[in-house]
Structure 1
Amino acid sequence: MGRDTDNKDKVPLIEHLSTNGRGSTGHPAGVNRALYKYIPLTIIVLQTTVMVLLLRYSKTQKLNEGQGRYLSSTAIVVSEVFKLTVCFAVLSYRGSVNEQGVIGRSSGGLSGLLRTLRCEVYGKPMETCKLLVPAGLYTMQNNLLFLALSRLDAATYQVTYQLKILTTALFSVLLLKRRLSLQQWISLIMLMFGVALVQLPADYKIGEGSSNEVDSSGMTLSRLVGLAAVLLASLSSGFAGAFYERLLKRSTQELWIRNTQLALFGILLGAGAVIIMDLERVLEGGFLQGYDAITWAVILLQAFGGLAVSYATKYADSILKGFATSISIILSTITAWCILNDFEPSMNFFIGTTIVIAATVLFAMPVKK
């Protein structure tokens, strides 16, 4: 082809990402803007709520005689394989990226994918290796969340995991030099108070204590393990999120390349976790032991949910995301209480949850100048 034809088939990467071939705004012509505002809200609510409830159910459902429960470590690896498959499909469809960060629309397919991987992944080892840190943290975080939802009811998990807002904010201050407003600091204090209130026993009254002494029964120990897992996952989520954002801001590589690198390391590190934690059980019962329709649904939500939320984040503003999180907490609580019979909410839980929801919305609201 001549030079003019080549230039027609290529567009700058940033322009291609921002327009998606649909015009300057990225929205299809004639589509109601309000629709694009609330579709992301629906995606976040459904993905977060259904994922948590299904994962909890998959870890607590009664099994048939002779049926074993699936291994969380293998489910995480399979989820990363699905993510990598989606990334490969997108990169193949969009065409290859050359050294100048330009997408060749006419060079898609398998050859374009291999060219992109050679140029952007294998050809830039230092850039690729930077993803080891967040990939390792996300792998640990996913294993912790599977553990937490096997020990905690979905509602308590949802409320407690909002501590990731606190850890993300703190690490953003440390790593990204971001400044928080007084309103945001107040909301973070409210968040901590609300989460602490949710953890109190049902018969605990502030100033009086609990009528029953806390024992060391299996149920109490199981709950403590679940809470510790959520706290560690929140810490991991906060650091990984801030670190990954810092990488994206300092890198010229597009998001789908970064997602591919994350998935590759996620598979390798996840496989390492399988070897360390469950090798003997895998050798005895197989890698996919205990998998059923619910398990595959959890894996698909885990894999595609993150990609869907990435899309939602592109179009939804921070206020909408705050409301989406709040709605998800409410739906999880109602479902866990009325349908799953997972827990009996106390007054402390209702008050604490209300405070957490208010803090979440307050943190996302813009500061009036």
Structure 2
Amino acid sequence: MQTQRMSFIQSFSKLFPSKSSFIIFSLYIILFCNHGILVTASQTSSNRYEYNVATVVLLTETLKLLASVGLYCKDNEPKSLVKDVVKNKTVLALYLIPAFLYCLYNNLSFENLLRFDPTTYNLLLQFRIFFTAILFQVLFKKTLTGKQWLSLVILTLGCMLKQLDFNAESADSNAKMYGFNLFSWSTVLILVQMLCSCFAGVYNEYLLKNDGANVNIFVQNVFMYLDSIFCNILVLLFHGNLSTAFQYDNLAKIMNFKVIILMINNASVGIITSFFLKQLNSILKTFASALELVFTAILCYFLFHIPIALSTVMAICTVLFAVYLYTQNPVKGQEHDKESLEIEREELLMDEVLVKE
């Protein structure tokens, strides 16, 4: 019993180098579960949105920007923020890439949650796992071990189990589309959203830990959300909705309790994600995203009476096993890498001393 306890503590410390990193991990899962539930709750009985989705996304990005500025100014002078922005304008330009991808991702999330129930939506997004792992290896020049790849394969298989119910037809013609057709526009949209998510996440982590490593994290968030606002304005211009986006009628529909809570939740997700990628990594982020389906399935059963099929239970069990397997050999962060290098140097020095003696 004592040995098992020590093994668990060691695995836990490998995953989470500090208490704050575990809190960030937990908050990330909670907030993302809330996202799917709140978006579904904000729909009408006919599964439509009364509010302008693009306007909500733009206002959410603005809320993230204001929060980041406020958190920065809590410990720094406002004028230093301007200096940091000017000094690191190159990093500001680099953030246009993940900002555009996140912008597309956020807008597609509303569209895809009209086509899929929250549990199916989260399960389908888990196919980003392999793309994330490949991009992670390329950008960070780290090779995943066989055990790590095995846990990722099992995680993906767990997500695929849900497809056993994809050919089932709903008896209610007005119900959501719980079915799945591989060759459909819905599949294309979820695929695009998935690719946006994995590339934006890994590239954002790369900026946080490399090009922007010496830049205050809240300044980096300011860069991200300034670029995001710019991208969302372009989206509104593309759809020809910029002139009407902030008319009284549209804003009145947004000033709804459910929509306001949704925007606050999504703003919190943005802030927490930056801390997640700074302290942890994109691989662990895919496991956190997979764990969402466990909690989302349970919550949606009680809140929206969405049934939990046998395949969903099997999928959840498989995902939990994959998570357990990954905890035995997780990807080490930069802090762990530095510690390993220091230990290796100390061992080399000791060897040199022994040889001289």
- TM-score, normalising length from structure 1? 0.70
What is the aligned partner in structure 1 of residue 65 from structure 2? 84
Q: Which has the higher helix share?
A: 2
Q: Is this contact kept in 1: 2:68–2:222, CA < 8 A?
A: yes
Greater mean deviation of Cα atoms: 137-146 or 282-291: 282-291
> Aligned partners of 2:56 and 2:93: how far apart in 1?
24
> Aligned partners of 1:294 and 1:169: how far apart in 2?
35
2:30 pairs with one of 19, 42, 46? 46
Correspondence list, 1:265-280, <5 A:
265-277=227-239, 279=241
Distance 1:344 1:134, change over 3 A: same
Per-residue deviation, 1:312: 6.0
1:55 pairs with one of 11, 15, 39? 39
Distance 1:361 1:75, change over 3 A: farther
2:219 pairs with one of 237, 252, 257? 257
> Aligned partners of 2:185 and 2:252: how far apart in 1?
25
What is the aligned partner in structure 2 of residue 229 from structure 1? 189
Deviations 1:178-219 (A, max 9, x none): 211101211222233232221233678xxxxxx99xxxx994
Distance 1:316 1:255, change over 3 A: closer
Distance 1:83 1:186, change over 3 A: same
- TM-score, normalising length from structure 2? 0.72
Distance 1:75 1:186, change over 3 A: same
> Aligned partners of 2:185 and 2:258: how far apart in 1?
24
Distance 1:222 1:69, change over 3 A: farther
**Counterpart secondary structure, 2:165:** coil
**Counterpart secondary structure, 2:304:** coil
Correspondence list, 1:1-369, <5 A:
39-61=23-45, 69-95=50-76, 108=77, 113-117=78-82, 119-201=83-165, 219=177, 224-248=184-208, 249-251=210-212, 252-277=214-239, 279=241, 282=245, 286-288=249-251, 290-291=253-254, 292-311=256-275, 325=289, 328-341=292-305, 343-366=306-329
Q: Is this contact kept in 2: 1:40–1:316, CA < 8 A?
A: no
> Aligned partners of 2:261 and 2:133: how far apart in 1?
32
Residue type of the alignment partner of 1:190:
I
Deviations 1:78-112 (A, max 9, x none): 011011101111222221xxxxxxxxxxxx2xxxx
Number of aligned residue pairs: 305
Per-residue deviation, 1:284: 7.5
Q: Is this contact kept in 1: 2:126–2:156, CA < 8 A?
A: no
Q: Is this contact kept in 2: 1:51–1:298, CA < 8 A?
A: yes
Deviations 1:242-269 (A, max 9, x none): 2222223133212111110110011111
> Aligned partners of 1:284 and 1:255: how far apart in 2?
34
Any gaps of 5 or more consecutive residues in structure 2?
1-16, 332-357
Distance 1:364 1:257, change over 3 A: farther
Per-residue deviation, 1:141: 1.0
Per-residue deviation, 1:344: 2.9
Distance 1:269 1:317, change over 3 A: closer
Residue type of the alignment partner of 2:79:
L
Deviations 1:92-140 (A, max 9, x none): 2221xxxxxxxxxxxx2xxxx23422x2223443222111111111111
Per-residue deviation, 1:364: 4.8
Per-residue deviation, 1:142: 0.9
C-alpha RMSD of the superposition: 3.6
Question: What is the aligned-residue identity percentage?
Answer: 22
